[in-house]
Structure 1
């Protein structure tokens, strides 16, 4: 496909590929006011030139009785206002028990305003627990694609199964989002995105590995609200990402690239900008993040601080603590990067989560009655020594750079006898599975829980299928690591009361679309038996 045609397919008109795969109802996008029911499609669906749902639909933050529904009106997503008029626009929504919308259960309307990038966040309540629903929006005579969502089980329910997927690190210019398409086909109960949903970097004219030219306004790095908005417009125009959002509710948290690379608390990377200027950039980034994702926050982002850490319970089976490891941390020490003999990393006063979030996490873990207790967060907690020799080279940006903070969390888990601790992470562009140790320098020390680190969707390019450790092996330097691979993809977790099974799904390439998917490795954690096993 030539560049102009590919750009049109990706950023504008009807995609060549089936946009979702439910039924034709998911693509019934053009409607007329003369119909008895304005939600009913014409017999021959077609998008108008000003179709406002170019960025698709999404749902998120599922509760037993509710879920967030999201869309953002944008007829021209690569413009700061998305090509929409500067004024508020009425948006209607409806939710049903079937994708044909014959069994409607909720409907309503709201306003999309330019102050919030014409984004729409609807917190639908009064729903039934553990129930599949379908939803859509309408603006004027135009109707959105159909999305599938699902509520969480009741708090005291004992579900026998939960299929969860997680992903992270999706640089648009590094490749195609085929992994998202495969994730959508899995139809998980819930998807966790663990950070780097976008990258703030400027994009070269050629579009990088996609070879899809982008306009001049993408050359510079994101800093203003308008610049972040068009970055999201480009990323969210991708049909494979839209398909993954339409397939299941998402629970999201940010890492660094939603703002600036390796930012920490009130500090930008490497002292490149003043603290005052960085807080303005950070506020713009937080605002754009909220505008473009189906997230339930205590309050709309208005200043430099936004609380994003929160907790989700899936009956008595699993409880997920969604963390923010960026906003409250101390600055990286010893110049950041990988360092040997960096004593300041041991400072007991250093924090990764901040006092309030750390207390919230440990108190919640102590009260939890769930079988599996999960930390859904951004960065690796297992110690990772990057030096194959006797020296110990550790990353100052990971939990290793905040050793006292990591020890407080792991010690707190042990003291509270938390049931089956599981840590999820992204960031590294590698797949890892490891065992959380009481003392990572002593392989014989107690195993407290397990960690699964997911690779990138695209970041880092194609990867290398020849690199890695087979599932169930032991890394010679980091013996608590039981699996690794350097390929792109996502992770699925099949959770039952008796075991947690993790499958690392990979694609062989991302520099061209439509790559096949395979399972590179699988590992199992058993209820009440800390550690990792092969199935």
Structure 2
């Protein structure tokens, strides 16, 4: 049986392959294209930053000329240069280096920059071949023992592409925010529906290619892209990044085998990591991913980022798989 782009008998082999991706990235020196040629800008998906610390932050991009059509045709790892500057004109460079965009991760780039000063704004950009990304803006957090005078943040969640335009983000961009927090449902996995404000591409997403295309469709929204460009984000997921109402290993659908369920979850988790500005500590190990963590903002605030899906018990109702109220009472 083959579903979600993987056969059951290949499941454990695929797990091992995905788990080995960090090794593949670090050992790709002999296969790196340091001077790639692109027909169009490879930075169509923009830039982002996240998980800020007092001395560093994650900066992100993903190389793709035509994100909705498919991945870059270059089969090798691509060398990407990055810079972080004190000023938008990049006359005072704070940190720089190179990173690998590997095909196993869809040529996404996650740089964990360190050696930065606490509680200040920085600007960053990437270079690949002859192309340069848009300039992003990010911020480090105050030192842990310092009490800042204030912190301003916005939170967002449940952004269903088909339900309307992302009109909240232009208002966020006008605010003096230190951080944006996304509480989950960054994408929705459903098939496209006619007569909506906007329409998802394709059917309900299942394969890794499906999930990558859906994230690309969302990230190409200019308002969302701009909010990622100008603020660091702290992100977590809910259910729709994978499948509606799932709880740990329990699917909303009856009769789904554990192998098939986990194969699809593996696709979803890998795509989530690829498209979010996350640290290596969140790198998925097959269908498992450590997303819970803490972000401290000086002595003023602690943000405890929860994973409310991967360790969840089945919800008492809402998916039709437990008795309705009357039947449940009759059992007592």
Q: Would you say same fold, with TM above 0.5?
A: yes
Contact 2:85–2:92 (8 Å) recurs in 1: yes
Question: Once the 2 structures are TM-superposed, how far is the Cα of residue 60 of structure 1 from its aligned partner?
Answer: 0.1
Residues in 2 aligned to 1:272 and 1:182: alpha-carbon distance in whole angstroms:
45
Contact 2:283–2:290 (8 Å) recurs in 1: no
Aligned to 2:175: 186
SS at match of 1:109: strand
Contact 2:252–2:319 (8 Å) recurs in 1: no
Aligned to 2:118: 129
Aligned to 1:275: 258
Q: For 1:152-191, what aligned pairs fall within 5 Å after superposition? A: 152-191=141-180
Determine if the alignment matches structure 1 residue 242 to structure 2 residue 230: no
Residues in 2 aligned to 1:274 and 1:330: alpha-carbon distance in whole angstroms:
18
Residues in 2 aligned to 1:307 and 1:335: alpha-carbon distance in whole angstroms:
26
Residues in 1 aligned to 2:188 and 2:87: alpha-carbon distance in whole angstroms:
36
Contact 2:282–2:291 (8 Å) recurs in 1: no
Alignment counterpart, residue 63 of structure 2, candidates 73, 78, 89 = 73
Question: Once the 2 structures are TM-superposed, how far is the Cα of residue 106 of structure 1 from its aligned partner?
Answer: 0.6
Aligned to 2:17: none
SS at match of 1:51: coil
Determine if the alignment matches structure 1 residue 114 to structure 2 residue 97: no
**For each residue in 1:230-267, what CA deviation from the matched residue of structure 2 results, as whole angstroms up to 9, or x when unmatched?**
11111111111110001110000000000000110011
SS at match of 2:281: coil
Aligned to 1:290: 273
Aligned to 1:94: 83
Alignment counterpart, residue 197 of structure 2, candidates 209, 216, 227 = 209
Closer, same or farther: CA 262–268 of 1 in aligned 2, 3 Å: same
Contact 2:157–2:183 (8 Å) recurs in 1: yes
Q: For 1:333-348, what aligned pairs fall within 5 Å after superposition? A: 333-334=316-317, 336=319, 340=325
Q: For 1:359-374, what aligned pairs fall within 5 Å after superposition? A: none
Aligned to 1:320: 303
Give the structure-1-normalised TM-score.
0.52
- Whose radius of gyration is greater, 1 or 2? 1
Aligned to 1:483: none
Residues in 1 aligned to 2:257 and 2:301: alpha-carbon distance in whole angstroms:
42
Determine if the alignment matches structure 1 residue 64 to structure 2 residue 64: no
Residues in 2 aligned to 1:234 and 1:272: alpha-carbon distance in whole angstroms:
31
Contact 1:334–1:342 (8 Å) recurs in 2: no
Pick the structure with more helix per residue.
2
Q: For 1:2-21, what aligned pairs fall within 5 Å after superposition? A: none
Contact 1:72–1:117 (8 Å) recurs in 2: yes
Question: Once the 2 structures are TM-superposed, how far is the Cα of residue 79 of structure 1 from its aligned partner?
Answer: 2.7
Residues in 1 aligned to 2:233 and 2:121: alpha-carbon distance in whole angstroms:
14
Determine if the alignment matches structure 1 residue 300 to structure 2 residue 283: yes
Residues in 2 aligned to 1:334 and 1:154: alpha-carbon distance in whole angstroms:
44
Contact 1:73–1:84 (8 Å) recurs in 2: no
Give the structure-2-normalised TM-score.
0.83
Residues in 1 aligned to 2:247 and 2:318: alpha-carbon distance in whole angstroms:
13
Closer, same or farther: CA 159–283 of 1 in aligned 2, 3 Å: same
CA RMSD of aligned residues (A): 2.0
Residues in 1 aligned to 2:258 and 2:82: alpha-carbon distance in whole angstroms:
41
Contact 2:68–2:213 (8 Å) recurs in 1: yes
**For each residue in 1:178-237, what CA deviation from the matched residue of structure 2 results, as whole angstroms up to 9, or x when unmatched?**
21121122141011000000111111366x203x6x7xxx32111111110011111111
Residues in 2 aligned to 1:205 and 1:107: alpha-carbon distance in whole angstroms:
46
Contiguous gaps of at least 5 residues in structure 2: 1-37
Contact 1:62–1:151 (8 Å) recurs in 2: yes
Residues in 2 aligned to 1:343 and 1:320: alpha-carbon distance in whole angstroms:
38
Aligned to 1:452: none
Closer, same or farther: CA 331–91 of 1 in aligned 2, 3 Å: same
SS at match of 1:209: coil
Q: For 1:286-435, what aligned pairs fall within 5 Å after superposition? A: 286-298=269-281, 300-334=283-317, 336=319, 340=325
Contiguous gaps of at least 5 residues in structure 1: 1-47, 345-535
Residues in 2 aligned to 1:246 and 1:171: alpha-carbon distance in whole angstroms:
20
Aligned to 1:526: none
Contact 2:123–2:137 (8 Å) recurs in 1: yes
Contact 2:245–2:251 (8 Å) recurs in 1: yes
SS at match of 2:204: coil
Question: Once the 2 structures are TM-superposed, how far is the Cα of residue 334 of structure 1 from its aligned partner?
Answer: 4.6
SS at match of 2:197: helix
Q: For 1:415-494, what aligned pairs fall within 5 Å after superposition? A: none
